[in-house]
Protein backbone atom coordinates (compact mmCIF):
# COMPACT_ATOMS: atom_id res chain seq x y z
CA UNK A 1 0.00 0.00 0.00
CA UNK A 2 2.66 2.53 1.06
CA UNK A 3 6.20 2.01 2.24
CA UNK A 4 6.28 5.23 4.27
CA UNK A 5 4.22 3.75 7.08
CA UNK A 6 2.38 0.43 7.01
CA UNK A 7 -1.12 1.19 8.34
CA UNK A 8 -2.22 -0.86 11.33
CA UNK A 9 -5.67 -2.52 11.45
CA UNK A 10 -6.66 -0.62 8.29
CA UNK A 11 -9.61 -2.88 7.38
CA UNK A 12 -10.95 -2.77 10.92
CA UNK A 13 -10.64 1.02 11.07
CA UNK A 14 -12.61 1.36 7.82
CA UNK A 15 -15.23 -1.12 9.03
CA UNK A 16 -15.83 0.72 12.29
CA UNK A 17 -16.01 4.09 10.54
CA UNK A 18 -18.94 2.75 8.49
CA UNK A 19 -18.00 4.87 5.47
CA UNK A 20 -20.92 6.34 3.52
CA UNK A 21 -20.90 8.04 0.09
CA UNK A 22 -20.96 11.80 0.47
CA UNK A 23 -19.92 11.59 4.11
CA UNK A 24 -17.39 13.96 5.67
CA UNK A 25 -14.48 12.17 7.33
CA UNK A 26 -11.30 13.21 9.11
CA UNK A 27 -7.96 11.44 9.31
CA UNK A 28 -6.53 13.26 12.33
CA UNK A 29 -3.06 11.75 11.80
CA UNK A 30 -2.73 11.05 8.09
CA UNK A 31 0.96 10.01 8.25
CA UNK A 32 1.87 8.32 5.00
CA UNK A 33 -1.77 8.15 3.89
CA UNK A 34 -2.21 4.39 4.26
CA UNK A 35 -5.43 4.44 6.30
CA UNK A 36 -6.97 7.17 4.13
CA UNK A 37 -6.10 5.26 0.96
CA UNK A 38 -7.95 2.23 2.35
CA UNK A 39 -10.97 4.43 3.05
CA UNK A 40 -11.05 5.70 -0.55
CA UNK A 41 -10.65 2.15 -1.89
CA UNK A 42 -13.74 1.10 0.07
CA UNK A 43 -15.81 4.24 -0.56
CA UNK A 44 -14.40 6.64 -3.19
CA UNK A 45 -17.18 9.20 -2.75
CA UNK A 46 -16.23 10.52 0.67
CA UNK A 47 -14.94 13.99 1.55
CA UNK A 48 -11.74 13.70 3.56
CA UNK A 49 -9.85 16.22 5.68
CA UNK A 50 -6.36 14.97 6.46
CA UNK A 51 -4.38 16.42 9.39
CA UNK A 52 -0.71 16.07 10.25
CA UNK A 53 1.89 18.30 11.88
CA UNK A 54 4.79 16.66 10.03
CA UNK A 55 5.65 18.28 6.68
CA UNK A 56 7.29 15.10 5.37
CA UNK A 57 4.18 13.06 6.16
CA UNK A 58 1.94 15.53 4.35
CA UNK A 59 4.24 15.52 1.31
CA UNK A 60 4.17 11.74 1.10
CA UNK A 61 0.43 11.48 1.77
CA UNK A 62 -0.14 14.06 -0.94
CA UNK A 63 1.45 11.74 -3.50
CA UNK A 64 -0.35 8.63 -2.22
CA UNK A 65 -3.78 10.29 -2.16
CA UNK A 66 -3.34 12.68 -5.09
CA UNK A 67 -6.13 11.34 -7.28
CA UNK A 68 -8.62 11.40 -4.39
CA UNK A 69 -8.10 15.12 -3.70
CA UNK A 70 -8.49 15.27 0.11
CA UNK A 71 -8.04 18.55 1.97
CA UNK A 72 -4.65 18.51 3.72
CA UNK A 73 -4.24 20.53 6.91
CA UNK A 74 -0.83 21.06 8.56
CA UNK A 75 -1.82 21.21 12.20
CA UNK A 76 -1.78 19.28 15.45
CA UNK A 77 -5.14 17.59 15.96
CA UNK A 78 -5.49 19.74 19.08
CA UNK A 79 -6.72 22.42 16.66
CA UNK A 80 -9.09 20.07 14.86
CA UNK A 81 -12.33 21.92 15.55
CA UNK A 82 -10.89 25.35 14.73
CA UNK A 83 -9.27 24.23 11.49
CA UNK A 84 -12.47 22.55 10.32
CA UNK A 85 -14.56 25.58 11.28
CA UNK A 86 -12.28 27.76 9.15
CA UNK A 87 -13.28 25.49 6.25
CA UNK A 88 -16.97 25.80 7.18
CA UNK A 89 -17.20 22.24 8.54
CA UNK A 90 -19.16 21.97 11.79
CA UNK A 91 -20.28 18.33 11.64
CA UNK A 92 -18.43 15.22 10.52
CA UNK A 93 -19.48 11.61 9.88
CA UNK A 94 -16.33 9.93 11.15
CA UNK A 95 -12.81 10.47 12.42
CA UNK A 96 -9.72 8.32 12.88
CA UNK A 97 -6.89 8.97 15.33
CA UNK A 98 -3.78 6.82 14.75
CA UNK A 99 -1.64 7.85 17.70
CA UNK A 100 2.08 7.82 18.43
CA UNK A 101 5.02 7.96 16.10
CA UNK A 102 5.02 6.56 12.55
CA UNK A 103 7.29 3.83 11.23
CA UNK A 104 8.96 6.39 8.98
CA UNK A 105 9.67 8.76 11.87
CA UNK A 106 11.23 5.92 13.85
CA UNK A 107 13.29 4.73 10.89
CA UNK A 108 14.53 8.20 9.95
CA UNK A 109 17.57 8.58 12.20
CA UNK A 110 17.82 12.37 12.06
CA UNK A 111 14.44 12.81 13.77
CA UNK A 112 15.93 11.49 17.02
CA UNK A 113 12.99 9.27 17.99
CA UNK A 114 14.96 6.02 18.22
CA UNK A 115 17.63 5.09 20.76
CA UNK A 116 19.30 2.61 18.41
CA UNK A 117 19.97 5.19 15.66
CA UNK A 118 22.67 7.79 16.36
CA UNK A 119 21.21 11.28 15.87
CA UNK A 120 20.79 14.67 17.49
CA UNK A 121 18.22 14.66 20.29
CA UNK A 122 15.14 16.16 18.68
CA UNK A 123 11.84 14.18 18.75
CA UNK A 124 9.71 17.05 17.44
CA UNK A 125 6.90 15.83 15.21
CA UNK A 126 6.47 19.40 14.02
CA UNK A 127 9.96 20.66 13.26
CA UNK A 128 8.78 24.24 13.62
CA UNK A 129 7.88 23.79 17.30
CA UNK A 130 10.27 25.29 19.83
CA UNK A 131 10.76 22.56 22.43
CA UNK A 132 13.08 19.65 21.59
CA UNK A 133 14.26 16.63 23.57
CA UNK A 134 17.73 18.17 23.71
CA UNK A 135 16.39 21.16 25.62
CA UNK A 136 14.49 18.98 28.07
CA UNK A 137 17.47 16.71 28.77
CA UNK A 138 19.95 19.57 29.21
CA UNK A 139 17.85 22.26 30.87
CA UNK A 140 15.31 20.54 33.16
CA UNK A 141 16.36 19.70 36.71
CA UNK A 142 16.48 16.11 37.95
CA UNK A 143 13.18 16.42 39.80
CA UNK A 144 11.30 17.46 36.66
CA UNK A 145 13.04 14.84 34.53
CA UNK A 146 12.04 12.19 37.06
CA UNK A 147 8.42 13.36 36.85
CA UNK A 148 8.44 13.16 33.04
CA UNK A 149 10.02 9.69 32.99
CA UNK A 150 7.70 8.41 35.71
CA UNK A 151 4.49 10.00 34.48
CA UNK A 152 4.88 9.35 30.76
CA UNK A 153 7.21 6.34 30.78
CA UNK A 154 6.02 4.60 33.97
CA UNK A 155 9.59 3.48 34.62
CA UNK A 156 10.78 2.49 38.10
CA UNK A 157 14.31 3.76 37.40
CA UNK A 158 13.07 7.26 36.54
CA UNK A 159 14.73 8.94 39.53
CA UNK A 160 18.11 7.27 39.12
CA UNK A 161 18.20 7.98 35.38
CA UNK A 162 17.28 11.64 35.98
CA UNK A 163 20.16 12.00 38.48
CA UNK A 164 22.56 10.27 36.08
CA UNK A 165 21.59 12.72 33.34
CA UNK A 166 22.09 15.69 35.66
CA UNK A 167 25.52 14.39 36.66
CA UNK A 168 26.61 13.69 33.07
CA UNK A 169 25.60 17.10 31.75
CA UNK A 170 27.59 18.85 34.50
CA UNK A 171 30.63 17.86 32.41
CA UNK A 172 29.22 18.49 28.94
CA UNK A 173 25.92 18.84 27.12
CA UNK A 174 24.09 15.67 26.10
CA UNK A 175 23.72 16.09 22.36
CA UNK A 176 22.70 12.76 20.83
CA UNK A 177 20.38 9.79 21.14
CA UNK A 178 23.42 7.54 21.58
CA UNK A 179 24.72 9.58 24.52
CA UNK A 180 21.33 9.43 26.24
CA UNK A 181 21.04 5.68 25.59
CA UNK A 182 24.46 5.10 27.21
CA UNK A 183 23.42 7.04 30.32
CA UNK A 184 20.29 4.91 30.60
CA UNK A 185 22.41 1.76 30.22
CA UNK A 186 24.70 2.91 33.04
CA UNK A 187 21.67 2.71 35.34
CA UNK A 188 19.60 -0.09 33.78
CA UNK A 189 22.42 -2.28 32.51
CA UNK A 190 23.22 -3.24 28.95
CA UNK A 191 21.99 -6.10 26.79
CA UNK A 192 19.11 -7.35 28.94
CA UNK A 193 15.40 -7.24 28.09
CA UNK A 194 14.78 -4.96 31.06
CA UNK A 195 17.43 -2.54 29.88
CA UNK A 196 15.82 -2.47 26.44
CA UNK A 197 12.39 -1.83 27.97
CA UNK A 198 13.80 1.00 30.07
CA UNK A 199 15.30 2.70 27.01
CA UNK A 200 11.98 2.35 25.20
CA UNK A 201 10.11 3.88 28.14
CA UNK A 202 12.48 6.82 28.63
CA UNK A 203 12.60 7.72 24.93
CA UNK A 204 8.84 7.31 24.71
CA UNK A 205 8.30 9.54 27.73
CA UNK A 206 10.47 12.25 26.20
CA UNK A 207 8.61 12.09 22.89
CA UNK A 208 5.22 12.29 24.58
CA UNK A 209 6.32 15.27 26.68
CA UNK A 210 8.05 17.18 23.86
CA UNK A 211 4.97 16.87 21.63
CA UNK A 212 2.42 17.34 24.45
CA UNK A 213 0.69 14.23 23.15
CA UNK A 214 -1.56 13.28 26.06
CA UNK A 215 -3.05 16.71 26.72
CA UNK A 216 -3.57 17.22 22.99
CA UNK A 217 -5.30 13.82 22.79
CA UNK A 218 -7.74 14.56 25.63
CA UNK A 219 -8.62 17.92 24.13
CA UNK A 220 -9.02 16.61 20.58
CA UNK A 221 -11.12 13.59 21.55
CA UNK A 222 -13.71 15.75 23.28
CA UNK A 223 -13.81 18.17 20.36
CA UNK A 224 -14.21 15.25 17.93
CA UNK A 225 -17.12 13.83 19.95
CA UNK A 226 -18.82 17.22 19.97
CA UNK A 227 -18.64 17.73 16.20
CA UNK A 228 -19.65 14.19 15.23
CA UNK A 229 -23.02 14.09 13.51
CA UNK A 230 -25.61 11.66 14.95
CA UNK A 231 -24.59 8.18 13.83
CA UNK A 232 -21.04 9.37 13.19
CA UNK A 233 -18.16 7.20 14.32
CA UNK A 234 -14.88 7.86 16.15
CA UNK A 235 -12.05 5.31 15.90
CA UNK A 236 -8.81 5.50 17.88
CA UNK A 237 -5.66 3.42 17.50
CA UNK A 238 -3.36 3.68 20.53
CA UNK A 239 0.01 2.06 21.19
CA UNK A 240 0.69 3.07 24.79
CA UNK A 241 -1.15 2.26 28.00
CA UNK A 242 -1.51 5.94 28.92
CA UNK A 243 -3.07 6.76 25.55
CA UNK A 244 -5.44 3.81 25.74
CA UNK A 245 -6.47 4.75 29.29
CA UNK A 246 -7.37 8.27 28.17
CA UNK A 247 -9.43 6.97 25.24
CA UNK A 248 -11.22 4.38 27.38
CA UNK A 249 -12.07 6.88 30.12
CA UNK A 250 -13.28 9.61 27.75
CA UNK A 251 -15.44 7.11 25.86
CA UNK A 252 -16.81 5.73 29.13
CA UNK A 253 -17.67 9.21 30.44
CA UNK A 254 -19.27 10.23 27.13
CA UNK A 255 -21.44 7.10 27.23
CA UNK A 256 -22.86 7.80 30.69
CA UNK A 257 -26.09 9.69 31.34
CA UNK A 258 -25.18 10.87 34.82
CA UNK A 259 -21.83 11.52 36.47
CA UNK A 260 -23.15 12.26 39.96
CA UNK A 261 -21.74 10.29 42.93
CA UNK A 262 -23.84 7.25 43.95
CA UNK A 263 -25.02 8.97 47.14
CA UNK A 264 -26.78 11.70 45.12
CA UNK A 265 -30.41 10.56 44.79
CA UNK A 266 -31.42 13.01 42.07
CA UNK A 267 -29.09 13.92 39.19
CA UNK A 268 -27.72 17.45 39.43
CA UNK A 269 -24.93 17.22 36.84
CA UNK A 270 -27.17 17.41 33.74
CA UNK A 271 -24.67 15.27 31.85
CA UNK A 272 -26.22 13.55 28.83
CA UNK A 273 -24.90 10.45 27.10
CA UNK A 274 -23.24 11.32 23.79
CA UNK A 275 -21.75 8.02 22.65
CA UNK A 276 -22.45 4.35 22.29
CA UNK A 277 -19.17 2.47 22.72
CA UNK A 278 -18.81 -0.18 20.01
CA UNK A 279 -15.74 -1.93 21.44
CA UNK A 280 -16.22 -3.03 25.03
CA UNK A 281 -12.72 -4.52 24.75
CA UNK A 282 -10.07 -3.12 22.40
CA UNK A 283 -9.62 -4.76 19.01
CA UNK A 284 -6.14 -6.23 18.54
CA UNK A 285 -4.15 -7.23 15.46
CA UNK A 286 -4.51 -10.82 14.30
CA UNK A 287 -1.69 -13.30 13.75
CA UNK A 288 -1.37 -12.56 10.02
CA UNK A 289 -0.97 -8.81 10.58
CA UNK A 290 1.45 -9.37 13.45
CA UNK A 291 3.66 -11.41 11.10
CA UNK A 292 3.59 -8.68 8.44
CA UNK A 293 3.93 -5.66 10.72
CA UNK A 294 5.66 -6.08 14.09
CA UNK A 295 4.61 -2.57 15.13
CA UNK A 296 0.98 -3.69 15.23
CA UNK A 297 1.68 -5.83 18.32
CA UNK A 298 0.91 -3.03 20.78
CA UNK A 299 -2.01 -1.51 18.87
CA UNK A 300 -5.42 -1.23 20.49
CA UNK A 301 -8.45 -0.07 18.54
CA UNK A 302 -11.45 1.50 20.28
CA UNK A 303 -14.54 2.82 18.50
CA UNK A 304 -17.77 4.59 19.40
CA UNK A 305 -20.86 6.02 17.68
CA UNK A 306 -22.51 9.39 18.32
CA UNK A 307 -26.04 9.10 19.69
CA UNK A 308 -29.01 11.03 18.36
CA UNK A 309 -31.36 10.87 15.40
CA UNK A 310 -29.64 10.66 12.03
- Supply the pLDDT for residue 108: 61
Residues 99 and 77: beta-carbon distance below 8 Å: no
Residue 14: partners with Cβ closer than 8 Å, 6 or more residues away:
35, 38, 39, 42
Cα separation, 201 vs 155, whole angstroms: 7
Cα separation, 158 vs 78, whole angstroms: 28
What is residue 71's three-state secondary structure? strand
Cα separation, 270 vs 128, whole angstroms: 42
* pLDDT tens for the chain, residues 1 to 310: 445 567 999 999 999 999 999 999 999 999 999 999 999 999 999 999 999 999 989 999 999 999 999 999 999 999 999 999 999 999 999 999 999 776 555 556 566 677 877 899 999 988 889 999 999 999 999 999 999 999 999 999 999 999 999 999 999 999 999 999 999 999 999 988 999 999 999 999 999 999 999 999 999 999 999 999 999 999 999 999 999 999 999 999 999 988 888 888 788 888 889 999 999 999 999 999 999 888 899 999 999 999 987 6
Residues 31 and 58: beta-carbon distance below 8 Å: no
- Supply the pLDDT for residue 116: 76
| Domains with residue ranges and CATH for the chain | 10-104+213-306 (3.40.50.150), 130-210 (1.10.150.170)
| H or E element, residue 49 | strand 47-52
- Supply the pLDDT for residue 2: 44
Cα separation, 242 vs 239, whole angstroms: 9
- C-alpha to C-alpha distances, 103 to 6, 34, 122, 149, 238, nearest whole angstrom: 7, 12, 16, 23, 14
Residue 139: partners with Cβ closer than 8 Å, 6 or more residues away:
none
Cα separation, 202 vs 209, whole angstroms: 11
Residue 74: partners with Cβ closer than 8 Å, 6 or more residues away:
52, 53, 55, 58
Amino acid sequence: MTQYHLPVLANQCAEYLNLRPGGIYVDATVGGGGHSLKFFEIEPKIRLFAFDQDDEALTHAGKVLEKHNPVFIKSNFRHLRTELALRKISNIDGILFDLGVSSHQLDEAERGFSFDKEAALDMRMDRESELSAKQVINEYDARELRRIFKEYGEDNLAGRIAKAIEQERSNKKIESTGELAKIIEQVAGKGSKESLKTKVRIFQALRIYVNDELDALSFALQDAINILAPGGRIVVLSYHSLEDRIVKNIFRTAEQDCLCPPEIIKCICDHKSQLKVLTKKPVLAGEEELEQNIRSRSAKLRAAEKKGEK
